[in-house]
Structure formats: structure tokens, C-alpha cells
Structure 1
Amino acid sequence: GAMSVDSITDLSDNTSKLLEALQLSHPHELHPRRSRGKKKPLSLNPITWQVPRIVDRCCTHIETHGLQTVGIFRVGSSKKRVQQLREEFDRGLDVFLDEHQSVHDVAALLKEFLRDMPDSLIPRELYGAFLSTATMEGPAQLDTLQLLLFLLPPCHSDTLLRLLRFLAEVAQHAESSWDPEGHEIPGNKMTVSNLATVFGPNILQKEKPGEKDASALNFEDSAAIILVLQRLIEHHHSLFMVSPEMQCDVLRRLFQTDPDVIEYLLRRK
């Protein structure tokens, strides 16, 4: 039957189906038995998790074998082994990275892949907009970053979130700690600031790799890139979530402008 604008927020089942159809969330976040009226943020990511295999495998390998590796992403690697791995991934092979694979080689492969993407992870059209947030502060900065993230294509959004989660995990192991027996567990020394310095230029690119002046960033841009990536790492949990208020706003606007779309989406599900 017809839905009034006022009733949209109360129709938990229909809302779930709509949001799923609109690809604002993963299915596991749209559990049919969730309590009626419960307002929960939904992730920005589409239903199909679109992360390149090479990125996910590299992140998983380092999370499993390299979190305690001192100077990861800064220590040198074997160019020959990195090139071999990259060629295997490029050929579509199901590359298995195990404990025998050098963590530094895998780290170099991840950086290289991100650097050489035909379109950078944060599209170049949004380069200036993202950098402009570096001069903002507090909630205004985070709100603007979130709106910019909403503009990313699904594959870029998913891959960026996977990377940011990974970098946050690496940063959590930057400082040394001690096990229950009192033995020191060395930190990897890669703080959020250090990671942003390493990855920032690979994620936020003004020019394509190899183009004139592609590596000639001025100091202001370099500092802004690092600061922006720091914020993305530190706040990725909240930045990639769609608030209940925004969910309802999307549905209200759709109901007002395209009621047929709502009916179609519900039928499709």
C-alpha cells in the first residue's frame, strides 16, 4: 500500500529493503529480526564488497604476519620479488601469500599498486576538495570529509575503507608492549602520522604517475595530504557510516521526488 512521509521512519522492514536496494549497507547490517524502531548507523559500502584481491591479500598478510615488523613500509624490499608478485596478480592468478613471503615485499607491493592505479584511490577530480578540508577544524572538517567520501565510486569507497582499517590496525601496534610474562613485544614504529606520510601521496594524487610534475608537490600540498589522511585513518569508523537521520532524509526525499522508485525498489527486493 501507499506510505505516508511520516510513516517512513517507522517501517523498519521496508526501510531495510530500501536501504539495501539503494546499496547503503551490507546485508548483515540489515538483519530482518532487528528490533523495531532501533536506529543504527549503516555503512556506506554497497552490498557487493568491491576490493581488488591484491589489496585485500596484502593487507591480510601484513595483519597476520607483519604488525610487529619494525619500520614496515619504510624498509627496503626485493624489487625482483615484488615485480614477480605483481605480475602474478596482474595475470589473475590466485596468489597465496603465506608466512614465507617477506612482509617488506608485500608492503612494497601494496604501496606500488596504489601509486600506479590508473585513477587514484581518491579520484583526481576530488583532489582539491579533499585538500581543502585540511584547513578546517572539528566537526566541520569531519562532516565535509564524510560528504566527500559519499561521492566516491563504490569500488574506491570499499577499497579506501579496507585500507584505512588496515592502517589503523598497523598504527595500534606502533608502540612497544609487554606480554603477560613481561617480555617486550617491539612496536613497528609506524604511527598514524608516519603512515599518512607514506601513503598520502599514493592515495591523493594531483597528476597521473609519470606525468609532468606528478611528483613535484609543494610543501603546502604535502602537509595537507598528510593531515587529511591522518583524519581519515583516525575517524574511518564514523566517516563511512550513514547516520539514521541521513537514511530517513534520503527516503523522505525519494518519496517526495520519485515515489515510483521506492515502489520499484521494494518490489525488486
Structure 2
Amino acid sequence: FAHMLYIQYVDSFQVGSSSNESSVSVLVKSYMSQHEICFPFPGLDVDGIYRVSGNLATIQKLRFVVNQEEKLNLDDSQWEDIHVVTGALKMFFRELPEPLFPYCFFEHFVEAIKNQDDSIRIKSIKALVQKLPRSNYDTMKILFKHLKKIAAKESANLMSTQSLGIVFGPTLLRPEKESGSMAVHMLYQNQLVELMLSEYSKIFEAEED
């Protein structure tokens, strides 16, 4: 399983699913395992991982293969550039019909991150995360756990929680309709991802109060 990618791409991730079973996209789950364990080089240490863009043509080719085939071997030499694989993962989240943070939650998360009291802010975000559809929550938890590992290697890859917030904020959280507040929204989008990475254990792992 760790060596192969079993995928139905966007169709495998049903936003708003009410299933009681874990519904993490097979793309995301398989990618995390492959990325963190099976790459023949220290992928988490690569300078600028997720920030540096891979070759777009190769990313598109990977996306096409993923959409057409049930199995994909990421050990294949044509996917050896880690920035191609990370680019494909970012594209997966960008192209979801609705972002990982559903549109109806956007304003609530923005209001939560704006709170100046750290304790209240974390509790508010945790409460919102727990209200997400199961598929969104499961995928979010495994993605943020992975990104937290990336941030832990900041001394090597130069990707801090702030850097990852800048990369993933607008991709994972965005309003259904953009307005003149786009620049302000981007600030909060970035800050939310940064905080959720910094406080991962409190948001995803802490026991209920």
C-alpha cells in the first residue's frame, strides 16, 4: 500500500460526506505514506518543499495518470522530482469543488482567528473543526499532521509554519465569492493555517474539556 497510489482523485473525496467511516482521500493518505517513508531521498528536508513549483507539464502528466489509472507507482523515475509530487497534491486541493474548509464555515473561521485572546481563539477553532463534515475533518487532520512534520524540519527545508500558511491558506480556506477584502482575507487564511499547525495537538489531539 505504501508503495502504490490507489486513487479516484476528486471523486474519492466527498465534501460534506456523513459517513461514519474514515473518509480520507486515498490520494492524500497514500501520498503521505509514500512521501514520508518511501521516497529514496529525505523528502521532508528538501529546500522549499511545497513552496517551490514543480514542472507544470510533468504535474499535469501525473494528474492525468492518476485520473486514468487505479495504481500509480511513485517510485517511477519520471516522478523523482518531489516538487512535482507536492505540486500534484496542492492541485488536488485547489481543484476540489469546495475547499477543505467548506464555504459555509469561512466567516466563522475568520472570526475565530481574529480573536486576540489566544486561549479563546484556539478553543473556537477547535470547536469549528469538530463541526466539520467527517470527510473534511479526517483529511484535514492527516494533512496538517503531515505539514507539521514539514515545519519540524524548518532548519533544513526553510519551511516554517508561517511559510506553510502562506502556501496553503488560500488553497484550503477561501470565500465562495471574492470581494474587495481579498487582501485582508488572505492574511486571515494564512494565519489560520499557521495557528493550526503551531497548535496541532490542542486542536486535533487534546481531550474534550
- TM-score interval (norm. to shorter): 0.7 to 0.9
In structure 2, C-alpha distance between the alignment counterparts of 1:63 and 1:168, rounded to whole Å: 12
Displacement of 1:237: 2.1
In structure 1, C-alpha distance between the alignment counterparts of 2:149 and 2:76, rounded to whole Å: 19
1:197 is the counterpart of 2:166: yes
Q: What's the counterpart of residue 124 of structure 1?
A: 103
Instruction: Kindly tell me the number of residue pairs found equivalent between the two proteins.
Output: 184
Displacement of 1:119: 1.2
Q: 1:217 to 1:112 in 2, by over 3 A?
A: farther
Cα deviation, 1:29-83, whole Å, max 9, x if unaligned, reads xxxxxxxxxxxxxxxxx86321112112333333234111101122231222211
1:229 is the counterpart of 2:208: no
How well do the aligned residues superpose, as a CA RMSD in angstroms?
2.1
Cα deviation, 1:158-185, whole Å, max 9, x if unaligned, reads 000011001000000110xxxxxxxxxx
Letter in 2 for 1:151: K
State the percentage of identical aligned residues: 23
| Aligned partner of 1:146 among 119, 126, 136 | 126
Contact 1:58-1:107 within 8 A present in 2 as well: no
Contact 1:121-1:204 within 8 A present in 2 as well: yes
Q: What's the counterpart of residue 21 of structure 2?
A: 48
Structure 2 gaps, min length 5: 1-18
Q: What's the counterpart of residue 115 of structure 1?
A: 94
In structure 2, C-alpha distance between the alignment counterparts of 1:49 and 1:89, rounded to whole Å: 22
Q: What's the counterpart of residue 57 of structure 1?
A: 30
SS of 1:95's partner is strand
Q: Which has the larger radius of gyration?
A: 1
Structure 1 gaps, min length 5: 1-45, 176-186, 246-269
Structure 2 length-normalised TM:
0.80
Letter in 1 for 2:94: R
After TM superposition, list the pairs within 5 Å mapping 1:73-92 onto structure 2: 73-91=50-68
Q: What's the counterpart of residue 71 of structure 2?
A: 94
In structure 2, C-alpha distance between the alignment counterparts of 1:244 and 1:135, rounded to whole Å: 23
Structure 1 length-normalised TM:
0.63
| Structure with the bigger percentage of helix | 2
